[in-house]
Amino acid sequence: MKKALAFAAALALMAGAASAQQYPTKPITVIVPFAAGGPTDVIARIVGESMSKTLGQQLVIENIAGAGGTTGITRGKEAVNDGYTIMMGHMGTHGAAPALYPNIRYNPVTDFEPIGMAAGTPIVIVARKDFPASNLKEFADRLKAGQDKLNEANAGVGSVSHTTCTLLHVQLGTKPTRVPYTGTGPVLNDLVGGKVDYACDQIVNLVTQIQAGAIRAYAIATPTRSPALPDVPTTKEAGMPEYEVSAWNALFAPKGTPAPIVARLNDALSKALDDANSRKRLLDLGGVLPEGNERTSAWLGTFVAAEVDRWGKTIRAAR
Amino acid sequence: MTQETKRFIRAPQDMAAGLFLIGLGAFALWQNAGLERGTLRVFGPGMMPTILAWACVVAGFAVGIGAMLWNGPKLERWTFRGPLFILGSAVAFGLTVRPLGMAVAAPLAVLLSSMASSETKLGEAAIFAIVITVFCLGLFRFMLNLPIPVAPWAIGY
Amino acid sequence: MFDLIGNLAHGFSIALSLQNIALCFAGVMIGTLIGVLPGVGPIATIAMLLPLTFKLDPTGALIMLAGIYYGAQYGGSTTAILVNIPGEATSVVTTLDGHQMAKQGRAGIALGVAALGSFFAGTVATLVIAALGVPLTKVALLFGPAEYFALMVAGLAFAVVLARGSLLKATGMILAGLLLATIGTDLETGEERMTLGFSTLSDGLDFAVLAMGLFGFAEILRNIENPEARDVTRGKIGRLLPNMDDIKRCIAPVLRGTAIGGALGILPGNGAVLGPFASYTVEKKLAKDPSRFGRGAIEGVAGPESANNAGAQTSFIPLLTLGIPPNAVMALMVGAMTIHGIIPGPLVMSKSPDLFWGMIASMWVGNFLLLVINLPLIGLWVRLLKVPYRLMFPAIMVFCCIGIYSINNSPQDVLFTAFFGFAGYVLYKFGFEPAPLLLGYVLGRLMEEKLRQAMILARGDFMTFVYNPIAAGMLAVAVIVVVIAVLPSVSKSRDQVFTE
């Protein structure tokens, strides 16, 4: 009996070693914790397509939306850590979530093996087109002076537009009236229609409206200007350097996924970011891609810890 | 119907319906008891549910009172075989689809739901279960590439 | 005017290329075939088929996707008529009279009228988009939270009219639907409401879960319980296609439905969902004998189906001209566009005219192909009703389970559907109708959101609804509709009292 057990154990070990070497031998599931069609889903599908070619196995996108993305990530955390289930984490799920959801069932820092950063989409501060401020400085002054009269629109508690504007308010020390919507579509509608005053959101959701002059952009919260919006200054240029934020998306594996497999996935992701076709598509979205050191798994690990800290402080300060 | 007009509850079905609405409203009120109502300017999370729950209770009383005033249909006979197997088959599918895959969940759902009807022939249902399963696997998993597990215990996905 | 003709000609030159016709055909065909599976509604269908389009060029991909959308919509109406399972909110109304017609052996006529009405509505809506899409955008922007709230209230007034039986019980169902809509995370504070600790409920109940449970599963339970009633109606199958007399009776409802649905579809806050309900209300009120409604009135299929398709079409306006997706299906379209590097918005028309006009022209092509594909298929669908029910219902169960599972890849959703199937059975035993509940549910989520936004923006002043002319007008319509609906039944119940 003992022999049989030992034999079985040896077999299992061998199988494990073999699977790490030959990995992947079957399709890999990528959990996207948001509905199909959103920015995170689009980024996952673009890098996933290229990674499938590199790895020789299909990456299947599984959209598990709910509770600001935490439902899908919880499922990912509980998945078998054999490298066949990975997930696309996000500024919300691996940064703001612990402060927003007290009952969250995972720890973004300790429950995952970071694979690598995929792409971020910069945050832009926008207002209705007839908002009486000509630059970011005037906008900030108006915000501080007239906080009772102004209305900020956001896509609901926990959304990127909500948390990033929370950061703006905390940094400016104001508490304006916040109007929650469900999703960015209706926010944009009321912003273009002039029913609300301003919002913060990802560039991909706003870019054509800004180009068409339907809304007014004050600044983009990245160190460099975006090629899609060359006329919009960075927050640094506009005098608010401390407001630097982008909605990042990165791949994670469940804790305990073998290191060789994580390295393999990291390599495939890096190749996807260099692939001409997928690179162009990501940049067309206004995406910011990680370069050099920022592509390593270790960098992502430290970055996530810093993000959890930053959003925790911000969200507590806003309460 | 005429001999029933003297009864206290003239429309038993409506009386049950009224009680159902009252129960639903009461349950919602109990669930929402801990939520902030807020003010008109800033509605709290509990404002709408509380208003609606009370409205349900009121509607329930109205239906119930109506049941004492006007004649209406009797409560229908309830059966258990149908709900047990039909809903049981959906529950079985939900519980097995991830751990055991569609290759188990789909035929299980077909066979269990077939039991709901007295017209079912067992052999026919078994063959049909296989046909439907093959069809669903081919369509959803292989043609459309949906991320539904097939048989994780046998082929790993 | 010349502009319009020139633009449309340009669009058709793109849409009518061999490749694009083939893609449109493939989209409509696959969309119909998947969408017709009971339990797989348009959203699930499009989400399932979306990856098929990734390998194509953007224009081709969108043409195919739009084809999938119409196909899925029509497929959804087919299941609503044949097996009484609505795939989405807008086909709830179709179940009311469409399924009754099927039970009377008139399934072919119902399907034919739906196809013809949809085609007409689609043609008109395509022209409207091409000619007036841009100016209509301004109308859409007039609608802020206060206006939407008033519109939703008017919608609830329609729900009262939907009722076949007791108005009081229908009101109870609407309230229950509104109450169910408040389940989930509170938008403003993030607090969980009535989720009973289930994480899948934190974003609220999924419409498909509720609809498949209350309609789909409960319908099967009812059929199994009353095999006699079911078999009698199953035996006879009448004419396959509508005759001249049917078509004559449908002309006016189709015209009205097209106008109503098209107008509501323009609103970016998912106004299209109200179209079929509003059309049904209008037809029921205009009919000489309203009691026919709910018992297989052909007008109750023709009007709402036209409204449905017109709205489905015009809901592209906010997407194409504003870049704002009005509903879940359109949000998927946005995703498909961004994957192809096209970010929808006001500039698409000037930046990618090929795509813009090609897509509009392909809408008409898609509607035409839908008709061409579906008129012959009607015979097949109707013959499917001849499949013995003992085989049909297990198949429906499996399709429903897979369809629900694949929306969120969530097994819990399947369990919840089973629960609502039981709830639907209980409601049926208590003499309730599920349609008003579903409408209340659909409108409820938007209604609370818009009411709270309006109150925040007005700083708590209820007069905002009175000062605002559009909102005030719509609230007045709501009151009038309810009064008209309630008056006859009040006098009727008085009669009841007096006759006793």
Structural domain boundaries enclosing C449: 2-499
Residue C335 tokens, joined = 């995703």
pLDDT at res. A4 = 53
- Whether pLDDT at A15 is above 70: no
Q: Which of C319, C317, C225 has the alpha carbon at shortest distance from B86?
A: C225
Residue A185 forms contact with C (CB below 8 Å): yes
- Whether pLDDT at B129 is above 90: yes
Residue B145 forms contact with A (CB below 8 Å): yes
Residue C143 forms contact with A (CB below 8 Å): yes
A216's enclosing H/E stretch is strand A215-220
CB atoms near residue C298 (< 10 Å): 23
User: Nearest 5°: phi and psi at B44?
Assistant: -85, 175
Give the count of domains, chain C. 1
Question: E strands of C258-406, at which residues?
Answer: none
User: Does this complex have an ipTM over 0.90?
Assistant: yes
pLDDT band at A258 (very low <50, low <70, confident <90, very high): very high
pLDDT at res. C180 = 93
Nearest residue in chain A measured CA to CA from C186: A157
Compare A295 and C1 and report the one with higher pLDDT.
A295
Nearest residue in chain B measured CA to CA from A64: B147
Q: Who contacts C485 (Cβ-Cβ below 8 Å, separation ≥6)?
A: C157, C160, C161, C167
Chain B interface test: which of A60, A87, A157 (most B C-beta within 10 Å): A60
Q: What is the mean pLDDT of each run of 10 residues along chain C (500 residues)?
A: 78 87 90 84 79 78 86 88 82 88 87 91 89 76 86 80 75 92 82 81 84 87 77 59 85 92 81 85 84 87 92 84 76 77 75 83 88 86 82 90 86 93 92 86 85 88 86 88 72 44
pLDDT at res. C397 = 92
C-alpha distances (whole Å) from C359 to each of C14, C135, C351, C368 are 9, 19, 14, 14
CB-CB contact of C203 with A65 (8 Å): yes
How many CA atoms lie within 13 Å of B71's alpha carbon, on the beta-carbon side?
12
Tell me whether residues B79 and C193 touch, CB distance under 8 A: no
- Nearest-CA distance A29 → chain B (Å): 8
- Whether pLDDT at A116 is above 70: yes
CB atoms near residue C5 (< 10 Å): 11
pLDDT band at A7 (very low <50, low <70, confident <90, very high): low
Least CB–CB distance from B83: residue in C176, C422, C451: C422
Q: Provide the percentage of residues in chain A whose pLDDT is more than 90.
A: 45
- Nearest-CA distance B147 → chain A (Å): 6
pLDDT tens for each residue of A17-33: 445 668 888 889 999 99
- Whether pLDDT at A256 is above 60: yes
Domain A122-220 CATH assignment equals 3.30.420.40: no
pLDDT at res. A220 = 94
Angle between helices C167-181 and C145-162 (to 10 degrees): 140
Number of Cβ pairs closer than 8 Å across A and C?
137
pLDDT at res. C1 = 56
Tell me whether residues C196 and B31 touch, CB distance under 8 A: yes
CB-CB contact of A245 with A36 (8 Å): no
Q: Provide the percentage of residues in chain B whose pLDDT is more than 90.
A: 46
What are the chain A neighbours of C268 within 8 Å (beta carbons)?
185-186, 189
- Chain A, residues 257-296, CB within 8 A of chain C, namely 280-281, 284-285
Q: Which of A155, C405, A84, C319 has the alpha carbon at shortest distance from B102?
A: C405
pLDDT band at B137 (very low <50, low <70, confident <90, very high): very high
pLDDT at res. B118 = 82
Q: What pTM was computed for the model?
A: 0.83
Least CB–CB distance from C168: residue in B31, B43, B59: B59
Residue C319 tokens, joined = 């997407």
Residue A207 forms contact with C (CB below 8 Å): yes
- Chain B, residues 82-111, CB within 8 A of chain A, namely none
Residue A44 tokens, joined = 């996952």
- Nearest-CA distance A11 → chain B (Å): 17
pLDDT at res. C235 = 52
Own/partner pairs, A129-135, CB within 8 angstroms, 24+ separation: A129/A192, A129/A194, A129/A213, A129/A214, A129/A215, A129/A216, A130/A194, A131/A197, A131/A198, A131/A216, A133/A218, A135/A218, A135/A233, A135/A238
- Nearest-CA distance A134 → chain B (Å): 31
- Whether pLDDT at A188 is above 60: yes
CATH fold for the domain made of A26-120+248-318: D-Maltodextrin-Binding Protein; domain 2 (3.40.190)
- Nearest-CA distance B157 → chain A (Å): 8
Distance CA C432, CA C173 (A): 7
Place of tokens 């055991």: B100
What are the chain B neighbours of C455 within 8 Å (beta carbons)?
40-43
Residue B37 forms contact with C (CB below 8 Å): no
Least CB–CB distance from A151: residue in C324, C445, C457: C457
C-alpha distances (whole Å) from B123 to each of A96, B126, B130, C214, C263 are 56, 5, 11, 31, 54
- Nearest-CA distance A232 → chain C (Å): 18
CB atoms near residue A173 (< 10 Å): 10
- Subunits with 3+ C-beta pairs closer than 8 A to C: A, B
- Subunits with 3+ C-beta pairs closer than 8 A to A: B, C
pLDDT tens for each residue of B94-112: 999 989 999 999 999 999 9
Distance CA C9, CA C6 (A): 5
Entry field: residues in chain B: 157
